Chain A
Amino acid sequence: MAKSSIKLRTKNKDGSVQVKALIKHPMETGLRKDKKTGKKIPAHFITNVTVSANGKNLLNAEWTGSVSKNPFVSFNYAGKSGDKVKLEWKDNTGKSDSLETTVK
C-alpha cells in the first residue's frame, strides 16, 4: 500500500486523550486559476472527516475549500490508553482514506 495520506498522533494525559491529525491533500477551492493556462483549477477538497475511538463516533467534520491545504485538526476526548482511534476522510471526487492507531 502506498504511504498513507494521514498522520495521526495521540497522547494520553490523565484520561484526556489528545488527537492530532495531518492529512495530505491539495484542498483546491475551485476558484483559483492556473497562472499559465488561465483555466480554473477544478475543486478538490475534503468534505467529510470522521474520528472514532473503539468504533464510537467522536468527531464528525464537514469541510469546505476554506480549510487550508494539507489540513490539520486537533481535539481532546475523555479516553484511555489502548483505545483504537480511527480517522477517515472523503473528498468531493469520491476519494477516501483511513488510518487507525492505538493510544499509548
Chain B
Amino acid sequence: MKRRSFLKSTLVASATGVAVGVGILSPNIASAAAKLNEAKSVDDVLKMLGATGAEASDKIKIKAPEIAENGAVVPVGITSEIEGTTEIISITAANPTPYSAKFTFGEGAVPAVKSRFKMGKTTDVIAVVKAGDKYYTAKTNVKVTKGGCGG
C-alpha cells in the first residue's frame, strides 16, 4: 500500500513538474487554481479572481432549472453577450467549495457553454464573465428538492 501511494504521488508530482517545465502551467496559475479549489465562500473566490467589484450585467444569460429534483446533476447553460468575453466562471454559492468551473474561450469559440453541476442544496448560481480587463456578473437561484418528492 505504501509503495502504491508513493508511486502515485511521484507520478502526480512529475506530471505537474513537466507541465510547469513546458510552460503549460505557469507555477503562479497552478497555485491560484489550487487555492480557488479550497476557497470556502463566494467572497473568497471573487477576491482570488480579482473580481470583487464585478458589475452586474443583464447581458449574461444563465439557463438553469428553477427547481432541480436531483441536485447531483443540474444542467446549467451560461451565455455571455458581452463583447470580448474571454472567460466564464461558474460559482455555486452553497457548495462547500463554491468555485465550480472556469471556461476560457479561444478565438472563434462562442462564449456560451452548457454543462452539469452538483448542488448540495438550494443555492444561487453565480456566473462571472471576464471581458477585456473587466468582470461582469449575474446570478440565478436553483431550488434543490431532496428525496425526489417535488418539494
**Contact for A59 among B72, B75, B109, B118, CB less than 8 A:** B109
A29 cross-chain contacts in B, Cβ below 8 A: 96-97, 118
Q: Confirm or deny: B48 has a beta carbon within 8 angstroms of a beta carbon on chain A.
A: no
C-alpha spacing A13/B97, complex, angstroms: 38
Residues of A within 8 A of B (CB): 16, 27, 29, 31, 47, 52-53, 56-69, 71-79, 92-94
Known contacts A67-B117, A68-B72, A73-B113, A60 near B103 by CB under 8 Å: yes
The answer to whether B33 and A31 have CB atoms under 8 Å apart is no
B23 proximal to A (CB < 8 A)? no
How many A-B pairs with Cβ below 8 Å? 107
Which residues of chain B (81-98) have a CB below 8 Å from chain A?
A: 92, 95-98
Residue of B12, B101, B103, B104 near A66 (CB, 8 A) is B101
**Chain B residues in 8 Å Cβ range of A78:** 108-110
B110 A76 Cβ-Cβ under 8 A = yes
A64 touches B101 (CB 8 A): yes
B101 touches A75 (CB 8 A): no
Q: How far is the CB of B75 from chain A (nearest CB, A)?
A: 8
Residues of chain A within 8 A (CB-CB) of B116 are: 67-68, 71-72
Known: A68-B73, A75-B114, A93-B8. A60 touches B100 (CB 8 A): no
A56-B107, A64-B99 given. 9 additional CB < 8 A pairs? A27-B118, A58-B106, A60-B106, A66-B117, A74-B114, A75-B110, A77-B110, A79-B108, A94-B11
Question: Do A56 and B106 touch across chains, with their CB atoms under 8 A apart?
Answer: yes
